[in-house]
Structure 1
Amino acid sequence: MKLFRFLLAGLLFAAPIVCEEYHCTKDTKCESGCCRLEPDGTGNCGLGPTFCGQGNCTSTCDEKSECDPGWGSKWSTAEKCPLNVCCSEYGFCGTTPDFCQGNVPTSPSCSGSSSDARTIGYYEGWNLERNCQTMTPEKIPLGYYTHINFAFVLIDPDTFTLSAMGADVAALYTRVTALKALQPGLKVWISIGGWAMNDPGPSRTTEYPVADDRGGKTEDKENFPKFLQNLRHALDQSGMPERPGLSITIPSSYWYMRGFDIVEIDPIIDFFNIMTYDIHGTWDSADNSIGAIAQAHTNLTEIDLAMQLLWRNHIDPARVVLGLGFYGRSFTMKSSSCLSAGCPFKEGGKAGPCTNTKGILSATEIRQVVADGATVTLDSAAAVKIITWDDDQWVSYDDGETMKTKIQYANSHCLGGTMAWAIDLDDGTTIEELGADLNRPKFPTFDPDLFDPNSDNNTDLGT
């Protein structure tokens, strides 16, 4: 993730003598910014007329700042920062005090249980391909979730029609919608996306518009709201007995969220799902501003920063759903003597017996590791747990205790729900711990002998 790159850049330009890469000479150009040489032949890199103006600049003189701190449009690519974040005196966008100088958005404040309005669970249509710890639709715990989002349905790149990931997945979808007969009021939505599209987000998600490292294009920011508007119109004309729902999933990182025109999108959809998980992972090693250090993939400190991006744009918190992960991100650490957050990692953690993928463990797998004697540490401020075992294995994750802290955060900020990725990564233990605080009736699991899954009463009502 590139969560801090935009923050770090401004800080480095604020104190160029600290870092050699922001120095230049007659023969060495700036990696970023314009080079201004001093009479002694040394030079510093920066932006704006002081560095890039005629008579001051000696190389890379066409560089422009992200935003305009008062220099004029000649020196900047844009007047304001995306998502209404702050423009520093050096022309960089960010949200820390170095950028905002006290200009912090007012966070919404509530008492009560606003997040009880929606409890969304995502169901992975491919989970039966795992070696173990699978979950058929009939085993989904009923009574806890208000919505089940079925992942995924794909968009055919040639015909632009929806298609299932495979015949087996399509059959599972029918079985999931059948659960609505057992839990009155349950909504089953489809999630348009899929790994084949480089798009793991639930609901309708693109990961990520504009981002060139994800195949994005500049025009995505303008075109995505148009696509959603067309989709909204088509859903409204579908003839469904109940108005179909529409939500999108957005990243928690400023770097990627800036590609979404959330103000334009807001009136089109029913709510935003924000992925307040996967904030960190093995991908950090490719980002020089973060590096290969172990950090929790979900923590309240960075979640709050992400939420501020929404408040800066006056998004109604009742239309925001907080993401919870029923899994953890794991690392194999470089040294058994350094196993704390911030220590270097070598690669993703060992694959679990059932998820069978390096760098990730399901909630069920994590519980087994804990039962086998792993060391558990609670980071109360970040509301996340970390376990270490086998000398070099490290994983950050949420359990019922830390998720309840995050739900308290959601309630205190008036959020309109929570979402869990994914139902089938938990054996029911975590959702039962959370569900104990929900005033909802529980229902028996599905009995195929008593219900016809092909009934017309199971029509899907959401996207």
Structure 2
Amino acid sequence: MKVWFSIVVGAILASTALAQTTTCSQTNPCKVGCCGNGGISTNAFICGTGPTFCGPGNCTTNCDYKAECDPGGWGSTYAEATTCPLNVCCSPFGFCGTTAEFCGGHTVPEPHCTGNSIAGRIVGYYEGWSTTKSCQTMTPDQIPLGVYTHLNFAFASIDPNTFRIVDEDATSGKFYTQLTALKVKSPGLQVWISVGGWSFNDPGPTFNTFSTLAGNVFAQAEFFASLISFMATNGFDGVDLDWEYPVAPERGGSPADLANYPSFLRNLRNAMNQSGYKFGLSITLPSSYWYMRNFDIVAIDPIVDFLNIMTYDLHGTWDGTDPFIGAVALAHTNLTEIQESLDLLWRNNINPSKVNLGIGFYGRSFTMSNPNCLSAGCPFSGGANPGPCTQSSGILSAEEIRDIVAAGGATQTLDPVAGVEIITWDSNQWVSYDDETTLGLKVDFGNKFCLGGMLIWAVDLDDLNGTSINALASAMGKPPSTVYDFKNFKFHYGAERILPPSSKKRSVIPGRFAGRIGA
């Protein structure tokens, strides 16, 4: 569930200033806007938008540039759209954003609460590839239970030719019923299947599968039948769709996705309701305006049970190619930026009780360019050294980070405003992550805004003692988790709550449909 995050609102904010102050010429065109005289007869040209910069007689280069929105009277010749997506403000220069420069004195009411709403729903994603790591693996029966209300198996895939549910890889399928069997020991636990994921929309066979599926009712019929059978057979209680991302051409999307996605979800909901099973439905949401603008969240909201907003991976090594951020180390989670993301929901009257705040049980890591500059905002030269178990530069699991701290020699710095810990070690290694202190800050933040829950990526990036999930439980006032011994347990599978054989009030044949969920 990676998010290649771009602070587009911040980028646009910078570009509005650049567009009105940057000089240009025929040999030095504008990066943003038209090169024009602003409607004044002069040989001095600067970058700008609208008819006074882009119109005939005023413009010298890049004259076909269109602003994002129309601040008033420009028309389609000079603006891509009349208004901004997601009820975002249109600045006087035709750019979309949410800060005072865009919105003037207009503010959006924020929800405020004093309770413990965020403790109501804790959704943990389990990576189907967890056992392929060289160390610090976690099988489903090793997951600490008692704090999670939902476990999502990540991921199942979709055959791009038949549109039927298939295993993501050759090994993950054997873990489906191992995960759903955990309901034996954790009463009330729901186990869902998550379909898609970041890699699903990488260039390849499934690059545009979601987009095709959303626009084709015949493909949907095949998908719905396959999904419902798959969930019933394996004992899943619901489905989470992780489409990253509709409309975005670099992610296999098309413009029609904006309208097709809500229609697709509505059809899916109807099919599940008519199946005789009580399946749940959720989707993931990006935290960036750049991608979220392509979700009709107003239409989607009443269809789904809840929304998982991926408020992590805000920054990483990919920032090095972003012209507005650059190769500087920034925390992958930041409460200030998260609040800006939630603003997009409040602008559209999304009920906060349906929103799950994204938390990462991992950190994004960097190798810093200068050992004497190790704070946030200092330059990096690349990803940090790979961890012994994740074995990927630029990311470390929570367990790997705790091992680094325990080894001694690391410096830990709390950023209370961002709500994140920064660890530096070995003179040039840097990682941001959440510990018991910052998890507490995020719980307080979520409760302040009345959020209905949290999503965790990922359950198996914690240790077998549940150090991270227990820290989160403590912050929410919940008892710690428990790890059970399943060695001598026998399980029955089906689309209802799974109970030990001695507790069964009627016989259930393993592998067969076991009646309606909740029956």
TM-score range, shorter chain: over 0.9
Match of 1:153, SS state, is strand
CA deviation map 1:355-381 (0-9, x unaligned)? 111100000000000111210000011
**Number of equivalent positions:** 455
Aligned to 1:315: 350
Please report how far the alpha carbon of residue 439 of structure 1 lies from its aligned counterpart in structure 2 after TM superposition.
Answer: 4.0
Which amino acid in 2 is paired with 1:25? S
- 1:72-104 per-position Cα deviation (integer Å, ceiling 9, x unaligned): 323211111111111110000111211111222
What stretches of structure 2 of length at least 5 have no aligned partner?
203-238, 499-513
Question: Could you tell me which amino acid in structure 1 is paired with residue 56 of structure 2?
Answer: Q
Shift of 1:63: 2.0
| Aligned CA distance change for structure 1 residues 318 and 381 (closer, same or farther; 3 Å) | same
Whether 1:246 and 2:248 are equivalent positions in the alignment is: no
Q: Are residues 1:144 and 2:182 paired? A: no
TM-score (structure 1 length as normaliser):
0.93
d(CA) in 1 for partners of 2:98, 2:470? 37
The verdict on how the C-alpha distance between 1:115 and 1:44 changes in structure 2, with shifts beyond 3 A counting, is same
Residue in structure 2 matched with residue 408 of structure 1 by the alignment: 444
Quick one: structure 1 residues 150 and 56, their matched pair in 2 at CA, closer, same or farther if it must change by over 3 Å? same
Alignment CA distance shift 1:10-1:295 (3 Å):
closer
Shift of 1:154: 0.4
Code of the residue aligned with 2:125 in structure 1: it is Y
In the TM superposition, 1:108-187 aligns within 5 A as 108-187=111-190
Within 5 A, what are the aligned runs for 1:78-89?
78-89=81-92
SS of 1:435's equivalent in the other structure is helix
State the AA in 1 paired with 2:284: T
Matches of 1:441 and 1:390, distance apart in 2: 34
Q: By how many angstroms is 1:455 displaced?
A: 6.2
Superposed CA offset, 1:379-400 (max 9, x none):
0111100000011100000012
> Which letter maps to 1:235?
M
Offset at residue 16 of structure 1 (A): 4.5
Equivalent in the alignment of 2:219: none
Asked if the contact 1:7/1:93 (under 8 Å) is kept, the reply is: no
Which one-letter code corresponds to 1:229 in the other structure? R
5 Å matches for 1:176-325?
Answer: 176-198=179-201, 203-240=240-277, 243-325=278-360
Contact 2:413 2:422 in 1 (8 A): yes
Distance 1:172 1:12, change over 3 A: closer
Residue of structure 1 aligned with 2:467, choices 429, 434, 452: 429
Which letter does structure 1 place at the counterpart of 2:62?
Answer: T
| Contact residue 174 and residue 453 of structure 1 kept, 8 A | no
User: Which runs of 5 or more residues in structure 1 are unaligned?
Assistant: none
The alignment yields a C-alpha RMSD, in angstroms, of 2.1
Amino acid at match of 1:65: A
Partner of 2:403: 368
Deviation, 1:444, is: 5.2
Quote the offset at 1:441 in angstroms: 8.3
Alpha-carbon distance between aligned partners in 2 of 1:461 and 1:209, rounded to the nearest angstrom: 31
Partner of 2:505: none
Distance 1:237 1:448, change over 3 A: farther
Q: CA deviation at 1:3?
A: 3.6
Q: Deviations over 1:221-247 (max 9, x none)?
A: 12211221222122112221xx21101
2-side partners of 1:298 and 1:325: how far apart?
8
Amino acid at match of 1:212: P
Contact 1:133 1:354 in 2 (8 A): yes
Q: Deviations over 1:42-76 (max 9, x none)?
A: 31121111112232223332222111111332321
Kindly state the Cα deviation for residue 40 of structure 1 after the two structures are TM-superposed. 5.2
Hey, what does 1:52 align to over in structure 2? 54
What secondary structure is seen at the aligned counterpart in 1 of 2:308?
A: strand
Alignment CA distance shift 1:195-1:64 (3 Å)? closer
- Answer yes or no: is the 8 Å Cα contact 1:48–1:71 preserved in 2: no
> Could you tell which deviates more after superposition, 442-451 or 177-186?
442-451
Secondary structure of the 2:11 match is: helix
The separation in 1 between residues aligned to 2:87 and 2:317, in whole angstroms, is 30
Range 34-43 or range 298-307, more displaced: 34-43
Relative distance call for 1:260 and 1:16 in structure 2 (3 A) is closer
CA distance in 2, matches of 1:426, 1:44: 53
Give how far 1:417 is off. Answer: 0.4
Q: Residues 53 and 95 from structure 1, CA distance in 2 versus in 1: closer, same or farther, beyond 3 angstroms?
A: same
**SS state at 2:388 partner:** coil
SS of residue in 1 equivalent to 2:80: coil
Residue 330 of structure 1 aligns to a residue in which SS?
A: strand
**Corresponding residue number in structure 1 for 2:211:** none
In structure 1, what residue type is equivalent to 2:59? C
Tell me the secondary structure at the aligned position of residue 339 of structure 1.
Answer: coil
**Change over 3 Å in CA distance of 1:15–1:353 after alignment to 2:** closer
Hey, what's the Cα distance between the residues in 2 that align with 1:73 and 1:39? 24
Partner of 1:93: 96
1:7·1:96 contact (CA, 8 Å) conserved in 2? no
Contact 2:130 2:137 in 1 (8 A): yes
CA distance in 2, matches of 1:5, 1:177: 39
CA contact (8 A) 2:19 2:32 kept: no
SS in 1 for 2:283: strand
The residue that corresponds to 2:421 in the other structure is: 385
Deviation at 1:209, TM superposition (A): 1.4
Q: Say if 1:8 and 1:289, in contact at 8 Å, map to a contact too.
A: yes
Amino acid at match of 2:273: D
Distance 1:121 1:434, change over 3 A: same
Deviates more, 1:314-323 or 1:31-40: 31-40
What SS does the aligned partner of 1:337 have? coil
Q: CA deviation at 1:195?
A: 5.0
Q: Residue by residue, what CA displacement relative to the aligned partner does 1:271-313 show, whole Å, maximum 9, x if unpaired?
A: 1101110000011111101111000000101010001010001
Change (3 A) 1:133 1:414: same
Distance (whole Å) between structure 2 residues aligned to residue 379 and residue 398 of structure 1: 11
Contact 1:327–1:361 (8 Å) recurs in 2? yes
* In 2: Cα distance, 1:5 partner to 1:442 partner: 39
Q: Percent identity?
A: 54
Q: Is the 8 A contact 2:197 2:242 kept in 1?
A: no
Contact between 2:47 and 2:53, CA under 8 Å: does it hold in 1? yes
- Partner Cα distance (2:478, 2:369) in 1: 46
Instruction: State the alpha-carbon separation in 2 of the partners of residues 347 and 336 from structure 1.
Output: 14
- Displacement, 1:214? 2.5
Whether the 8 Å contact between 2:8 and 2:289 is mirrored in structure 1 is: no
The answer on 1:452 being equivalent to 2:484 is no
